[in-house]
Structure 1
């Protein structure tokens, strides 16, 4: 098979389309002939040498895939610990999902990582609450906006001004340009915050967090270290979680996937949530896809398709 390899850490140019040994499924796994994968920021970090795959995972980048089960011909998509940038992918059966009705097999590659991330961090108790989504134009952001709206939340999001119209089309009730507006003043108060920035936003997130609110940190684009005034947290009876999906155990991921299948997939199949795909490129052009995501010149997901 062919896969995108990373011979050495570096820029997008180090990504190499190469012939490699075929993926071989272990016990409890299936072999998927890939139709597409999607680019996530974790892939960029892995390429740079900052985010190695967990033990036992494929060395190739790619945290999600869609395609067909080689043994049964069933159309599936899956959450991965790595290996999505390849023609064949070995996947734990418990981490697979059926391709939602109404979606092409390739487009389903835009869903597993974002659906599992949002479901496991935001949850389902959103009706009547205010959800603040930082980075609303990202793959996770575009999914979270639709998820929050579908569950009855008032959704506020931060993004560059040029992307606001599209985010409002997805259902965002308010959009804030973080480059020119004081988003703390504009938000006022939020019950749940989904944050991809990390350290730089920590204190300001606490400023807007409502009493009894929840802050879920899922990214560190704004740094890894910050001071926290615990008195603010205690006074608000608020909670902070900081999670990654990739490093979770097999059983934890399987439980998240089951939750997505039971509670999120019906929203996708009803049309309440749709994958937002900025563009599609051949897998062999992964370097160009990384440049696009690195520059934040996209809205939603950038897919890599396998012919």
Structure 2
């Protein structure tokens, strides 16, 4: 699937291209499944953190085997995953244990590693702290809820936009859920709802990927020494402005996170992936499957993401 112009899902077109040629340190892989992420919808618009150059093939993750046969791996890419074949660097691929499906491996390689580092590296979750997971039914959120509970969070609060999604978040371990629509008109109402869900207390950690009023309300709900980790811009609203005196006066922190920086330090990815794949293999972490689409139906996958019709991990099948 190639993009030759920027825009919405309609800019992705099926094309026939030569096989990619591996460079030093790379291997050519036959892709069995490719992952879809919300950030991919920004890539088609050229509205994300890294500027895009045309033409491009979207897709940052895959499961596949070396051309000619070999060990199934899950890998991360700078792009090119929406395809039948890809050249990937060996330092950013990891063997998939037997019993772990393509969908499960794809769920943890980008979204799971993000959830892992949000809690471990950025927020430094301590036992007993309260954690708010914005978009708790999404790919990162469904895993962050489970990891926060596993690592000793005192109370996990998730936001989700429908009763069905809120029920899913609670099934995964959330102690309470909040409708993010409360932030549409008044971030103060959203902050109040988060505090109410935390037993009337301010919260310690918020994992935030929407922006706008959700960001403002989340920041307002933080306790002293609380941390808000911003890792997305799903609301496509104007960037938030944070006043330094306000942070000082409340002893709160705002932290940014982008997994791309972990990809430049492979040991950080190794730590997360070793832990995550092990937990999936032994059944202590349950990725949520969000749907498998033919590669040729990738526009539909993006439309479903943008319309908030999905939960969990979306996957593309390049054989269809």
TM-score when scaled to structure 2? 0.86
Contact 2:3 2:55 in 1 (8 A): no
Per the alignment, residue 111 of structure 2 pairs with 114
Contact 1:35 1:106 in 2 (8 A): no
Per the alignment, residue 221 of structure 1 pairs with 234
CA–CA distance in structure 2, aligned partners of residues 288 and 177 of structure 1:
26
Per the alignment, residue 233 of structure 1 pairs with 247
Identify which range, 219-228 or 78-87, moves more after superposition. 219-228
206 and 49 in structure 1: CA distance in 2 versus 1, 3 angstrom threshold = closer
SS in 2 for 1:67: strand
State the 1:5 CA deviation: 0.4
57 and 63 in structure 1: CA distance in 2 versus 1, 3 angstrom threshold = farther
56 and 13 in structure 1: CA distance in 2 versus 1, 3 angstrom threshold = closer
Per the alignment, residue 194 of structure 2 pairs with 187
Contact 1:36 1:304 in 2 (8 A): yes
CA–CA distance in structure 1, aligned partners of residues 144 and 282 of structure 2:
16
Contact 2:298 2:316 in 1 (8 A): yes
Matches within 5 A, 1:6-25: 6-25=3-22
Identify which range, 236-245 or 224-233, moves more after superposition. 224-233
CA–CA distance in structure 2, aligned partners of residues 35 and 53 of structure 1:
27
Matches within 5 A, 1:122-201: 122-123=119-120, 125-153=125-153, 154-162=155-163, 163-180=165-182, 182-188=189-195, 189-201=202-214
SS in 2 for 1:240: strand
Identify which range, 117-126 or 160-169, moves more after superposition. 117-126
State the 1:125 CA deviation: 3.2
59 and 305 in structure 1: CA distance in 2 versus 1, 3 angstrom threshold = same
CA–CA distance in structure 1, aligned partners of residues 52 and 267 of structure 2:
20
SS in 2 for 1:18: coil
CA–CA distance in structure 1, aligned partners of residues 113 and 250 of structure 2:
28
State the 1:142 CA deviation: 1.1
2:217 to 204, 212, 215: 204
CA RMSD of aligned residues (A): 2.4
209 and 73 in structure 1: CA distance in 2 versus 1, 3 angstrom threshold = same
State the 1:250 CA deviation: 4.8
SS in 1 for 2:264: helix
CA–CA distance in structure 2, aligned partners of residues 80 and 194 of structure 1:
24
CA–CA distance in structure 1, aligned partners of residues 192 and 291 of structure 2:
34
State the 1:236 CA deviation: 3.4
State the 1:134 CA deviation: 0.7
Contact 1:135 1:158 in 2 (8 A): yes
SS in 1 for 2:181: coil
1:243 to 248, 252, 257: 257
State the 1:74 CA deviation: 0.6
Identify which range, 171-180 or 97-106, moves more after superposition. 97-106
Q: Structure 1: give runs of 5+ residues left out of the alignment.
A: none
Q: Structure 2: give runs of 5+ residues left out of the alignment.
A: 184-188, 196-201
Contact 1:37 1:303 in 2 (8 A): yes
SS in 1 for 2:140: helix
Per the alignment, residue 59 of structure 1 pairs with 56
